[in-house]
Structure 1
């Protein structure tokens, strides 16, 4: 993006933020600040003097040099610790499967819906259990997408409805596996197809799960109110069916509550965040103690993990770390979710200024789920921060972590 030399640092930050579709609250949260602070920076009411905060802003806005923010000039900071562009080798094949959808019925017979659903369920398990989940799941997705589309085109009646539910699951999984690496247009297409397939199947739990997925896309692209709206509507749709419903239907309903809790926490709405979390907690209490939803991993452990996330997003570091101290991460069967828990704990330690502890738990997160850490923006921001400002004795370890997750250190 070409920025006028006449723009101030604050104006440059605003232009870059808006070009990336980010709200002030989202960008400020990535920098450990509130939206009012960022507003003052953008309007020139407050001068931005901290190099570390410039580093955070540059990393969050994915620019390669701090002069893009400062306008250069003599004496200005010259080099950003670049986070690089996140990409993944599986993306071309996934792109082709999604964007080159066939309009004709396959010559070979369609997959049986039950067999197709079984393959999807196995791939969801792989997503949650592999430390190379994007690579391994990404290799399977193109075939699942094509087979799911072929089944929907070829079948009718109840078999077609079952195939639509499976196809919706495929597209939800595609959204998870390509998050932060897919072009924006693919992310929206995938989320919309997951919801459309579920609606065509007229199956409330599938619609609610697809809405949960759409809510993720909306929240991560800085549309928090729209994300709240869609998960609330999904909850209203599902609630009348919960009495006597399968456990997985209640699991989806609980996941919607946790989604809303994190969404409002990122906006600083503390009371609402804990009220939504309480609703999710009540759902978990109504389910068997060992219950885990197959795709959202909603259950007792995930509710407790989300309490840490909510507290961290609210910048209640002491509470977040206290909650984390009481957790047994091994009860969570999802490697991906365990790794993200430790990233949240690292963020809490950084909020308290304890970089040694933050580095230790980030190393744990990377050991548990290397690709989860590598392809999660908040984790990369933490890694960049640690490389920049870790204690001297920890610099080598911080550098190794930064290089492992793809953060440039030169």
Structure 2
């Protein structure tokens, strides 16, 4: 249908819904929301910020180009995934997660070694943080890791089984990271829940806290910020009594939980709470050795500084965010993935100031640093789409190349 250019996102959703004869309750239900939520979106009373929910609405409405809903014009197409598995690595992961054997054959020969299993998981986490093509490479490893960890938990007993449960929880957390923004919602929820359940079965507080951090990511990205804050707060409460005597990684995950909550508050515009919790994470980092890095969340000094930039950006304090970024050395960031995301945050800051030339230059650095991180991060795709539409005329060919790298295709 032809939609007038002046319509808002909410008005476009309503027009598309009514043209298809769908009730508000039906469309809202397809997005796991209630009709009152959709009514507020359509009326403009509530802003729709979640990329995931936009994709759900587009899919439910049969729209293949997200810009039809957002009203970003016909210059850039933002494809809506039409299939359940929209990444080459996802079918194998889907089978490993969703098609578990109900009965395992009795083990023959040597039983699985939980230490070796954990070593493989730790190596995969390192790959996630060091490869520019981390999604593709880690997704290729995950099906065997998932099946191996599931089998180990089923055949081991006692302390060995608890150790295998910790490894299984780590595998599912890594699965959640590697499939973020590319997995269907049902896979994301199953993976997050299994990570938390395995950690609780192991009765291992830092594993429970790490799984809660992962669950918090899923909740926040699917527009459940209050629930995200609740789960990370509960996890922090679990760790807090042990902080004085805890190993470094216990304190590391505690610090990561504080930063998670800080960003969640910042995205909701709660500036005081955001900085209060960021400072808690900052104090944890100061209590750890300067070179400390948490193995999966990469919490440490550099990551705390990175989150300071993110909080300023989410609070629309672009000048402060860019000033802090100017003082940072990105090379000290211990994760390629986080380094690429830092450059995306800097590009967002430049866009907030209206400097698209600088944003374009920074996005090119982000792509060089970690192209898959950029390609599969909604905020980065939004920056690339904005640059394609609004870059200075002389830079439009360069912006078109960026859009192609990020997977935002031009439509003429």
Q: Determine if contact 1:58/1:80 at 8 Å carries over to the other structure.
A: no
Structure 1 residues 355 and 198, CA gap change in structure 2 (3 angstroms): same
Q: Which residue of 1 is the match for residue 98 of structure 2?
A: 99
TM-score, L = length of structure 2? 0.85
Cα distance between partner residues in 1 of 2:172 and 2:383? 30
Structure 1 residues 405 and 61, CA gap change in structure 2 (3 angstroms): farther
Cα distance between partner residues in 1 of 2:33 and 2:398? 32
RMSD, aligned CA: 3.0
Q: Which residue of 1 is the match for residue 43 of structure 2?
A: 43
TM-score, L = length of structure 1? 0.86
Could you tell me how far 1:82 is from its partner in structure 2?
1.9
Structure 1 residues 59 and 92, CA gap change in structure 2 (3 angstroms): closer
Cα distance between partner residues in 1 of 2:408 and 2:55? 10
Could you tell me how far 1:268 is from its partner in structure 2?
0.3
Could you tell me how far 1:289 is from its partner in structure 2?
0.1
Cα distance between partner residues in 1 of 2:120 and 2:283? 32
Q: Are 2:228 and 1:227 aligned?
A: yes
Q: Which residue of 2 is the match for residue 88 of structure 1?
A: 87
Q: Determine if contact 2:66/2:77 at 8 Å carries over to the other structure.
A: no
SS in 2 for 1:369: helix
Q: Which residue of 1 is the match for residue 326 of structure 2?
A: 325
Q: Determine if contact 2:206/2:253 at 8 Å carries over to the other structure.
A: yes
Cα distance between partner residues in 2 of 1:61 and 1:82? 16
The Cα offsets for residues 206-231 of structure 1, whole Å up to 9 and x where unpaired, read as 00000000000000000000000000
Could you tell me how far 1:9 is from its partner in structure 2?
5.9
Structure 1 residues 148 and 66, CA gap change in structure 2 (3 angstroms): closer
Q: Which residue of 2 is the match for residue 247 of structure 1?
A: 248
Consecutive unaligned residues in structure 1, runs of 5 or more: 28-37, 47-52, 71-75
Could you tell me how far 1:353 is from its partner in structure 2?
0.0
Cα distance between partner residues in 2 of 1:330 and 1:193? 35
Tell me how many residue pairs correspond in the alignment: 379
The worse-fitting range, judged by mean Cα deviation, of 80-89 and 179-188 is 80-89
Q: Please list, as runs of the form range in 1=range in 2, the aligned pairs for 1:195-344 lying within 5 A after superposition.
A: 195-344=196-345
Q: Determine if contact 1:258/1:306 at 8 Å carries over to the other structure.
A: yes
Q: Determine if contact 2:75/2:389 at 8 Å carries over to the other structure.
A: no
The worse-fitting range, judged by mean Cα deviation, of 83-92 and 336-345 is 83-92
Cα distance between partner residues in 1 of 2:381 and 2:136? 18
Could you tell me how far 1:60 is from its partner in structure 2?
10
Consecutive unaligned residues in structure 2, runs of 5 or more: 18-23
Q: Please list, as runs of the form range in 1=range in 2, the aligned pairs for 1:145-160 lying within 5 A after superposition.
A: 145-160=146-161
Q: Please list, as runs of the form range in 1=range in 2, the aligned pairs for 1:155-194 lying within 5 A after superposition.
A: 155-194=156-195
Could you tell me how far 1:369 is from its partner in structure 2?
0.3
